Amino acid sequence: MQHHPQGARKSHSRRLLLTEIRRTGPVARIDLASRTGISRASVTTITADLLHEGLIEEVARKDPTPEQTRGRPRVDLKLRGAAHLVAGLKIANRAVSVALVDFEGALLGQREAPLPRPVNDARNLAEQLGQILDQALDGIGRTRGDLSAIGIGISGIVDAHRGFVYWSPSLVSRNLPFGQILTETLGKPVYLDNDTNLVALAEQSFGLGRGIDDFIVVTIESGVGMGIVLNGHLYRGTRGCGAEFGHTKVHLDGALCRCGQRGCLEAYVADYALLREAAISEPDQHPRPDEQRIEALLRAARNGQPTASSIVARAGRMFSMGLANLVNIFDPQLIILSGERMQLDHLYASEVIAAMRSSIVQIDKPPPEVMIHKWGDLMWAKGAAAFALGGVIETAIANGKPT
Amino acid sequence: MQHHPQGARKSHSRRLLLTEIRRTGPVARIDLASRTGISRASVTTITADLLHEGLIEEVARKDPTPEQTRGRPRVDLKLRGAAHLVAGLKIANRAVSVALVDFEGALLGQREAPLPRPVNDARNLAEQLGQILDQALDGIGRTRGDLSAIGIGISGIVDAHRGFVYWSPSLVSRNLPFGQILTETLGKPVYLDNDTNLVALAEQSFGLGRGIDDFIVVTIESGVGMGIVLNGHLYRGTRGCGAEFGHTKVHLDGALCRCGQRGCLEAYVADYALLREAAISEPDQHPRPDEQRIEALLRAARNGQPTASSIVARAGRMFSMGLANLVNIFDPQLIILSGERMQLDHLYASEVIAAMRSSIVQIDKPPPEVMIHKWGDLMWAKGAAAFALGGVIETAIANGKPT
């Protein structure tokens, strides 16, 4: 293995400085030195490089501290938004969302387009994504050639390091190098990850997780997902299949799950789990789409219909037990319950949070904060864009010149 | 807040170098430069300081690579064992174990002494520890004055950053600054942590976790504990009460646990849980100590007695469900089942591991490795010593001179 000590050292300092500038927004050179432990001289040299490369820019300090009001105006450094344009895409069941984001993370454009079929051949799906992406770019007067990278979130089990999809509900085949297929088809570097990990990145970059070292995001959609941020970094596990909260077992030999195993949390709280129970207690005479059946069940529960209430209450209790297990294991600062489906209020309910709090190890200190963040598909896409930005920054660090 | 950029930078490089030397044992300066990204010139300067301070020493390279056999002999750097002496203590129910360890981690002495009472006043316990510690030191011809630091492991809920004990079965009172009480009583810096975290440190420093970034240690004693190493660092949670594996819930409203809650894993697998069931099926006519009752139950299960087998088998199944949940959440490289009680073979059984493997998310890649590590109380004490060593290194980094 070849080592390049000088290169490695410069990369190390570039990484620290770019990361710190990205994390803390406009920041003075002197603060960069003290926060990173890099000498003032090196900060001056490396930030001069970064300015020259157009990755960062100087801005006048907005709120000078009293001792800084005299003398020449102080300047801060921040990322230069125009340095890079990236796209984030979220592949959902029947739709694709696109977010176009600059190097600073500002949202420049967005688009949502239908996906005709939920399960697709990999190359065909890549081509559909390309068309939707181009439409989004066209909306802001840009083209695919302007992109530095593309982040993509997909449901399933993904090894993000390799862009490898073990399994996804959106793809016909298993065990595909889907990241590579996407890079080839789209002609730009693609960063592919499990969609829930990207929600955690979005919360960290743009949302409730900003500046918080240890937090957990639980997503509640048709299934239950989870993203783990520890020490400020997304934790992905060794094989790319950690954070499978929905398939942790809450009952030995319990209810059958879609995954084929028994007792998974999803088998108690997902839509299909509620409908399975609803179907038994009150067989549906008139076949209706699942969305309507779920809505009817939740409405009946809200109106106090006993069986519906029992079904929904058990889902909430199982969910609170699962959440309590996460707290007992991670003891995080914050849990973000994150989802777009407003009708899942039974899982966001204060009784659920209270039951979680009473099921964790009790110490004489408050339990972790729980925040509820409801949003749309764009959040997933913005998380995918944040992932792509991370990749662009890694490339900028490695190259030591603009990419 | 005052910042000292030059000092911060030097500390940062000292930290990287000392950590790398500690982690990789004898290592050449040039490899330190390439691995840490610190320039060769700085490596030379800082390692000269460390040599001067007596923290590290030069050793002839044992196994030169072919191109290095010509010319002058190459030297490697390693920690200097004699630089520091630390003690590690484990407070068990009825005994205290002591390990005396040098700066390189070599075991210089050990001792186990009985603890007359399992629950103690804090100051009284600190004084008893001091006596046992002095006896151990006397055994190797050293005194307490020779110690740089003392690491101590205790059962319960401990915030290691503050040395604060929320609750411990070994202490009469709750919410005690026990680390501070120990430091005052013993007259040396004390690093206090939950005992299971220290087993994880021991596995990382001396055991099966060496060189592994992400692993989980599950300890099986009278309760079930857990230590989490992620990215090479012990993960302690925000409030100091993470990794409470024994109190994750495996059954909604399940069996009553000693902690007062219901459905905890411990309430199915701990000794008291097994005895609770055994007592119902076959009331004990002749009161016997719990140890004997447990032995009799496990023997009966091994001999195929149906009720005993059913009791023990359920414990194993609940345990495998809990383990599977850990894998589904962490996707670690390795799980170490770690304990000293040879009779708990029913939890180490291949059926339990197989059941765990069939209950995790299935991908076309092997599941994490599971290793079983049986050892005595000394392992806990060595982990406590490793924790103290970490503290000594932090002090050495901060001081920039010998402590």
pLDDT digits (tens, 9 = 90+) for A27-66: 999 999 888 888 899 899 999 999 999 999 999 887 655 5
pLDDT of A402 above 50: no
Residue B403 · residue B189 · CB < 8 Å: no
pLDDT digits (tens, 9 = 90+) for A370-398: 998 887 778 889 999 999 999 999 888 88
Q: Check pLDDT > 50 for residue A403.
A: no
Three-state SS string over B271-330 comes to HHHHHHHHHHHCCCCCCCCHHHHHHHHHHHHHCCCHHHHHHHHHHHHHHHHHHHHHHHHH
Q: In the 3-class helix/strand/coil scheme, how is A357-386 assigned residue by residue?
A: HHCCCCCCCCCCEEEEEECCHHHHHHHHHH
Q: Determine, for residues A230 and B230 on separate chains, whether the beta-carbon distance falls below 8 Å.
A: yes
Q: How far is A223 from chain B (nearest CA, A)?
A: 14
pLDDT of residue B218: 93
* A318-324 mean pLDDT: 94
Q: What is the CA radius of gyration of chain A?
A: 23
What radius of gyration, in Å, describes the C-alpha atoms of chain B? 23
Look at B237 and A250 and tell me if their CB atoms are within 8 Å. Answer: no
Helices (H), A282-342: 290-302, 306-330
CA–CA min distance B292, chain A (Å): 30
User: Residue B104: what residue type?
Assistant: E
User: Confidence band (pLDDT; 50, 70, 90) for A5?
Assistant: very low
Lookup: tokens for B67: 């191109």
**Helix A290-302 / helix A306-330 crossing angle, nearest 10 deg:** 100
Q: Which of A34, A234, A326 to mutate to test the interface with B (most CBs of B within 10 A)?
A: A34
| Residue of B139, B92, B101, B169 lying closest to B376 (CA atoms) | B92
DSSP single-letter state for residue A164: E
CA distance A158 to A240: 6
Q: Between the CA of residue A273 and those of A72, A217, A264, A267, what are the distances in Å?
A: 66, 22, 10, 5
CA atoms of B52 and A390, how far apart (whole Å)? 42
The residue to which tokens 């809920």 are assigned? B157
Domains of chain B: 5-79 (1.10.10.10), 83-201+379-399 (3.30.420.40), 244-332+341-374 (3.30.420.40)
Mean pLDDT of A79-92: 96
Query: What does the pLDDT read at residue B375?
Result: 78
Count of all residues that appear for chain B in the document:
403
Pairing of strands B75-79, B95-102: unpaired
The pLDDT tens digits along chain B (403 residues) read 334 445 556 677 888 899 899 888 799 999 998 888 888 998 999 999 999 999 999 998 876 565 555 556 689 999 999 999 999 999 988 899 999 999 999 999 999 999 999 999 999 999 999 999 999 999 999 999 999 999 999 998 899 999 999 989 899 999 999 999 999 999 999 999 999 999 999 999 888 998 898 999 998 877 888 999 998 889 988 887 778 899 999 999 999 998 889 999 999 999 899 999 998 876 656 778 888 888 899 999 999 999 999 999 999 999 999 999 999 999 999 999 987 765 667 787 888 888 899 888 888 888 899 998 887 778 889 999 999 999 999 888 887 643 3
**Which residue in chain B is spatially nearest to A357 when comparing CA positions?**
B261
Residues 202-221 of B with CB under 8 A from A: 214
Band the pLDDT of A223: cuts 50, 70, 90.
confident
Sheet holding A95-102, edge to edge: A107-114, A95-102, A85-91, A149-154, A190-194
pLDDT digits (tens, 9 = 90+) for A12-25: 788 889 989 988 87
HEC assignment per residue over A216-232: EEEEECCCEEEEEEECC
Q: What is the pLDDT of residue A93?
A: 85
3-state DSSP call for residue A289? coil
Distance CA A266, CA A223 (A): 6
The pLDDT value given to residue A3: 40
B359 chain-A contacts, CB cut-off 8 A:
249, 261
Question: Quick one: tokens of A112?
Answer: 């949502």
Least-confidence region, from A98-102, A198-202, A204-208, A262-266: A204-208
Q: Which two three-digit tokens encode residue A58?
A: 């100087």
- Type of residue found at B273: A
Distance from CA of B334 to the nearest CA of A (A): 9
